[in-house]
Structure 1
Amino acid sequence: MDFEILKQQIENAAKKAFLEVYEKHGAEGIYSFALYSDEGAMTVCPAVNTMKVIENADEEDALYYKYEPAEWTFEMEGADKEFGEICTQLREELTKHDDDDQWFDGFQNKLYSTCIEVLEKLKNENFFTKITGKDIFLVFTVSDYEFEEKDLKDLIIRLNDNEYKNEYLDWMATWGN
């Protein structure tokens, strides 16, 4: 699989997904965008959330609902065709290497890093800020998988130069307490 081509496809799909959701729900105060995959590296999907949605979260769990893409309202919404094609390509590639664990580990790592690179590129280009006029919280996550705490912290710092970064890191400090 040519990851440079895949990276461009993910970038194009991410932009399209965000624009589609913003067009429909921009007035609700979009504050976040995520790309996420699964542990089997078979999917890449977008997620978006709005301030309007989290206003109704109870105070105790508010940060969880604010920062956990699996709880976001607009999950797997936008650029459906494009993300569908990406997922099909991933599954086809995985089928070719069905029983090769070493190959899979490299493929999984490359897919995850490609998604993170796309988010970082969009952040550095101010893609989201140009559309919304404000900072957006960015994250990459994997369903049913937990990043090492240091890796997650590094990811949040890498993708967020905004007030969300500090709030997220402060929230992380409370985990397990």
Structure 2
Amino acid sequence: MNFEILKEQIEKAAKKAFLEIYEQHGSENIYSFALYSDEGAMTVCPASNTLEMLKHADENDQLYYKYEPAEWAYEMEGAHDEFNEICTQLRTELEKNEDDDWFYDFQSKLYSVCTDVLEKLKKENFFSSITGRDIFLIFTVTDYEFEDKDLKDIIIRLNDNEYKDEYLEWMNTWGN
């Protein structure tokens, strides 16, 4: 698989998804955007959340609802055709290869590409130029836990705003 072409496809799909979500839900004060995959590296999907949705979240788990894309209001919304095409390509590639070493390399490259795309869009001020505010960005994987150091690196790399500090403080409470 050509990961440079995949990166371009994911970037185009992420931009389109965010624009579609913003067009439909911008009045709800969008504060976040994520790309996420699965442990089997078969998918890439967008997610976004709003401050309006957070008003209805359980106050005891406010940070969880704020920062966990699986709980966000707009999961797998936007750029449906583009993300479906990307997922089809991933599954097709996976079906051709069954070697474990190949898979772990493929998985690692996919995850890196997704993080690279979000970082590129952040550096271009793509999100903030649309919303007029800082946006929390994250790449995550369903049913998979990054090592704490790796997750911290992702958060630091994608966020240079108040969300970064709050997320890292929240991480320090995990397991306590």
Taking the aligned partners of 1:37 and 1:71, their CA distance within structure 2 comes to 15
Give the alignment's Cα RMSD to 1 decimal: 0.5
CA distance in 2, matches of 1:105, 1:44: 16
Distance 2:121 2:75 in 1: 19
Deviation, structure 1 residue 56? 1.2
- 1:20 is the counterpart of 2:40: no
Counterpart amino acid of residue 151 in structure 1: D
Which digits, 9 at most, give the CA deviation of each residue in 1:92-118, with x for residues without a partner?
000110x21110000000000000000
TM-score by length of 2: 0.99
Find the aligned partners of 1:48 and 1:62 in 2 and give their Cα distance.
16
- Alignment of 1:91 with 2:91, yes or no, is yes
Question: Residue 114 of structure 1 corresponds to which residue in structure 2?
Answer: 113
**Rounded Cα–Cα distance in structure 2 between residues aligned with 1:91 and 1:171:** 35
Aligned-partner residue type, residue 74 of structure 1: Y
Q: Any gaps of 5 or more consecutive residues in structure 1? A: none
Residue 168 of structure 2 is aligned to residue 169 of structure 1: yes
Q: Which runs of 5+ in 2 are unaligned?
A: none
The corresponding residue for 1:125 is 124
Task: Give, in whole Å, the separation in 2 of the partners of 1:154 and 1:10.
Answer: 21
Q: Percent of aligned pairs with the same residue?
A: 76
CA distance in 2, matches of 1:83, 1:30: 21
2: CA distance, partners of 1:172 / 1:38: 21
Deviation at 1:81, TM superposition (A): 0.1
- Matched to 1:18, the amino acid is F
**1:23-76 deviations in Å (ceiling 9; x for gaps):** 000000000000000000000000000000011112210000000000001000
TM-score (norm 1): 0.99
Aligned residue for 1:57, secondary structure, equals coil
Measured in 2, the distance between the counterparts of 1:21 and 1:53 equals 14
* Residue correspondences, number: 176
Paired AA for residue 137 in structure 1: F
